[in-house]
Amino acid sequence: MSAATGSSTDPMIVYVQLLGEGTVVYRPAPAEPLGARVVRLLIPEGYDPDDENWEFKPGTTVRVEPRSLSEGEVLAAVSRVEDDG
**Amino acid symbol at 28:** P
Q: d(Cα 7, Cα 71) in Å, to the nearest integer?
A: 23
HSE value, Cβ hemisphere, 13 Å, CA-based, for 4: 14
HSE value, Cβ hemisphere, 13 Å, CA-based, for 69: 17
Q: d(Cα 20, Cα 24) in Å, to the nearest integer?
A: 9
Q: What is the pLDDT of residues 8-42, one digit of tens each?
A: 567 899 999 999 999 999 999 999 999 999 999 99
Classify residue 23 by burial, with Cβ atoms within 10 Å: 0-12, 13-18, 19+.
exposed
pLDDT at residue 7 in the model: 52
